[in-house]
Amino acid sequence: MKKDILNFQSISMKKVKMVLLSSLVVAGISCSEKGSESSAQGKLPEKVTMSVDKLKDKIKGGWAGQTIGVTYGGPTEFKYNGTFIQDYQPIVWYDGYLKKTMEEIPGLYDDVYMDLTFVDVLERLGHDAPVDSFAQAFAHAEYKLWHANQAARYNILNGMKPPQTGHWENNPHADDIDYQIEADYAGLMSPGMPNAASEISDKVGHIMNYGDGWYGGVYVGAMYSLAFVSDDIHFVVNEALKTIPAQSNFYKCMSDVIKWHKQYPNDWKQTWFELQKKWADDIGCPDGTFIAFNIDATINAAYILLGLLYGDGDYGKTLEIATRAGQDSDCNPSSAGGILGTIIGYDKIPAYWKMGLKDIEDMNFKYTTMSLNKVYDIGYKHAAETIKRNGGTVTDKDVTIKVQAPATVKFEKSFEGLVPVAKHEFTDTITGEHQFEFEGTGFVLRGRAAKKRNDLPDAVLEAAVFVDGKELGTYQFPTNFTTRRLEIAWKYQLPNTKHTVKIVAKKIPQGYELRPTEYIVYSDKPLPKEQH
């Protein structure tokens, strides 16, 4: 979810050769090698006892696995939208690459430092930390945000409280991937207890997401949780899906991936094509409607499943497929790599993929005071507390987990009944008053506050928005990137008729302007073909 791009020119030919040779490396551990916590019979045990060392190894595997995965996929992120990455395209991996990326592109690791923001709140305030503590921590953090996270940050900074900050009527990015990439901590602190993971995700995930966007985090958290008590990736994928309401599109899409994997067990690309035909539409995110770009949680979660199912326990193959599926192709191998890393544990992540990992484990992720080594220890502390709070026991040598059968979370749906029907460009800037008309049931007006000269200081602009003569609200528009409002205005659930939107500038200092770029029109049904 970052815009940083690696400079491939700096990579030597020797390193590129290593990448090309990597396909010859057998880098995985088969999940068919059953451990003591296996669920080979296809059902969860009531209790699982494991050594403290094994629990710590799995927690380390989860944190290290997602760090490896996001680093591996980083250079490809959103460069392959609506297409997969061809087999002949090398993806870089070499000894020292992790450290180089941590030092030169720290913003790549939002998958990790967003998790660590929530881990830090739990460490300071405990498992019963109020939702406002999580919301304020990430809203006031120094790191840049995008999509649902940034929309929620703006909402929080302007007085809105969770869960309204993530609700789709207040956040046009509610179905985006944001909490899905941040939910690792919830599963890693809830070994064998998917409902405990869902409980923390209900609190934190609704800060920035709703509906299918929230389900992505619930599902990822449940897979992490079950990865502690089953080493069968196919069982984990299916069992974790029980946390998601069957009537949701998210559930239906994941079920399709599982079905198509059975139908095409040796051809992940065929399943990718089936996904593209049925599930590639993005109706919510204003950045992704009418174009190939898709940051929707559902399609990207499907790509996580592609990696896990077709990877079949081979670590390298899992990362490769989750990355080559495209779209958010650093976040998806991060999730897949973390889940599989939890299943097999840190020690069994192949040495090839841990090249250079020791060099970064004491480095704090930017914007945090936490390193991997610190979160390994804190992660165990939080997991031990969750075990005890849910009926298990913890001793100096082992833990006994009271395993939870996954419970289905509540049903919710974003953008109910909305169909994107048009997108119109803007060429004017707003320093006074501007209006436009549309016919439909909703709209999103994209744009931003801007300086006319780069040497001007940041400022906060102000404008009122009216729909059909009624004031929708008066909004603040910071030019500062970290506090910006992502869209100028939006309104859904209007009657299906003609509407007039008017923007009235209230505070536009000299040298600044409000720059609309386009507006998207929604209706309750697709346009007739003759109107296309």
Q: Where are the beta strands (DSSP E) in 214-343?
A: none
Q: Which of 305, 317, 306 is nearest to 350 (CA)?
A: 317
* Contact present, 63 and 346 (Cβ < 8 Å): no
CA distance 22 to 45: 38
The residue behind tokens 């609700």 is 167
Helices (H), 29-75: 52-73
Q: What is the pLDDT of residue 431?
A: 86
Q: What is the pLDDT of residue 531?
A: 64
CATH superfamily of the 8-402 domain: ADP-ribosylation/Crystallin J1 (1.10.4080.10)
* Contact present, 254 and 263 (Cβ < 8 Å): no
Q: What is the pLDDT of residue 42?
A: 76
**The 3-state secondary structure of 72-137, one letter per residue:** HHHHHCCCCCCCCCCCCCCCCCCCCHHHHHHHHCHHHHHHHHHHHHHHHHHHHHCCCCCHHHHHHH
- Angle between the N-to-C axes of helices 297-311 and 212-226, in degrees from 0 to 180, rounded to the nearest 10: 30
Three-state DSSP class for 260?
helix
Mean pLDDT by 10 residues, the chain (532 residues): 38 35 33 37 89 98 98 96 95 97 95 96 98 97 96 98 98 98 98 98 98 98 98 98 98 98 98 97 94 97 98 98 97 98 98 98 96 98 98 98 98 97 92 93 97 96 98 98 98 98 96 96 87 60
Q: Which residues contact 241 (CB under 8 A, 6 or more apart)?
A: 219, 222, 251, 254, 255, 258
- b/e per residue, 56-72, with b = 16+ CB within 10 A? bbbbbbbbbbbbbbbbb
Q: Is 96 exposed, middle or buried (0-12, 13-18, 19+ CB in 10 A)?
A: exposed
DSSP secondary structure code for residue 164 in this structure: G
Secondary-structure breakdown of the chain: helix, strand, coil percentages, each rounded to the nearest 5: 45, 15, 40
CATH class of the domain comprising 419-531: mainly beta
Torsions phi, psi of 465, nearest 5? -120, 130
Q: What is the pLDDT of residue 306?
A: 98
Give the start-to-end residue ranges of the domains of the chain: 8-402, 419-531
